[in-house]
A and B are shown apart, each in its own frame.
Chain A
């Protein structure tokens, strides 16, 4: 019983930790994508103004 509770606590640790890490990576990737999009937009507008 004690072992099962301890195991459950460890599994929950990995689950919650996993949720945190997954959301963090997703958020960082979305920021990176945003930055990339902004950069591309700036390049395109710069090209247009040159034209």
Chain B
């Protein structure tokens, strides 16, 4: 997920050691938190059945995203995923917007994570104030990233494995395999489709939460032994894992918590664990939820600061944010600049608003990714440059994916129309600012030099 187009990252010294397993760990590690919080808004928006239908529908959209990004990212001359793709395929204005969208997607997700950590601690003792713990979590993670996050990102994988195990433990503890002893009462506790077909549309938008960022596995292309094999394989297996994890989460939570309360829960899996009445399961899910949130927030701080610094390095933002800490080698100015923004959103405590803005930003990037594949195939048709992976079913794949993204945006607008308009106005104003204040500083030749060197001039442009 790191739009890090740091030239050094492409230097020959980068070791190509990653295989499909590492790519899988990266994909699941960043996204798994979606099972612990936020996904249940789908039930609030469309009901129990809409939530599971939305989950499976959105998995198709993300499969398309993974394949499209895999084709483009594995040939890009710089690391950085969608930001780099936008830079070479759509130009500076789109690159600026994609970079900004990625930053806000991560900053909002980070705010959502720390809100949940605060709420979880508050659930232990209602007398505990949420605010100091929310701020403390954010400050501690910022501090870790400020001092260089490589070690903590490695630890993220272990944390994710523990968190995923806690979901499996919860499933087993419900005795789902024994119809007589099972704690799950799906018929009694689910509410079907209370808002009909429109409810499915509304749920589809929020179902992104189960997978948000999984296409970011392509960021590891630089460090893979065989990117053409590892990136698509690791990405698709990550997606399958998340579909299984999401389905288990829906199944267990819907069977243990009535749909009315599940839709508004801040920590649905933990509440499901409490509903089993088994202390060890509750403790495991409490720890799992906290760890998943911390791992995700940690990754988000790292990714958002990398994206912000990359925009600055490419002169799309003032260059002050590109400075690297002399001792810790972190993007320390970008990290500190983004801290108050995330803090401000976290302090509102409005999880649904934060989640909505994060999903909106991500969906906009996904839509542009579909456009980028069309542009990529037009600028560099098959056979004109060496590709290690080719997305199948072109142009059906990007068209179907774009249609599903539009369904998601339509679903979001049903209940959060004002938020979507505010988001669109924000990106429009940011674009105006860019055109008036930053575009003049841009050196187009230098901006596109690496792409021209790698592929030559585009054929059909």
Contacts and interface: CB of A to CB of B under 8 A. Distances in A.
Interface of A: 2-3, 5-6, 9-10, 12-13, 16-17, 19-20, 23-24, 27, 30-31
Contact of B128 (A2, A17, A19): A2
Q: Which of B127, B139, B325 is the most central at the interface, judged by chain A CB atoms within 10 Å of its CB?
A: B139
A contact patch SS: helix
Contact of A5 (B128, B135, B327): B128
Given A24-B336, A27-B325, A16 B132 contact: no
B140 interface: yes
Contacts of A17: 139
Given A27-B325, A27-B326, A12 B146 contact: no
Interface string B311-332: 0000000000001011100001
Q: Which of B128, B136, B325, B327 is the most central at the interface, judged by chain A CB atoms within 10 Å of its CB?
A: B136
Nearest to B127: A2
B369 interface: no
A50 B80 CA distance: 47
A37 to B, nearest CB: 14
B40 interface: no
Contacts of A2: 125, 127-128
B142 A10 contact: no
A24 B142 CA distance: 13
A2 B323 CA distance: 42
B447 to A, nearest CB: 26
Q: Which of A2, A9, A10, A17 is the most central at the interface, judged by chain B CB atoms within 10 Å of its CB?
A: A9
A23 B332 CA distance: 10
Interface in B100-154: 125, 127-129, 132-133, 135-136, 139-140, 142-143, 146
A23 B142 CA distance: 13
Contact of B323 (A9, A10, A13, A31): A31
Contacts of A12: 136
B336 A13 contact: no
Given A27-B325, A30-B326, A20 B129 contact: no
A42 B143 CA distance: 36
14 contacts: A2-B127, A2-B128, A5-B128, A6-B128, A9-B129, A9-B136, A13-B132, A13-B135, A16-B136, A16-B140, A16-B143, A19-B143, A24-B332, A27-B332
Contacts of B323: 31
Nearest to B129: A6
Nearest to A24: B336
B139 A16 contact: yes
Given A6-B128, A27-B332, A31-B323, A20 B146 contact: yes
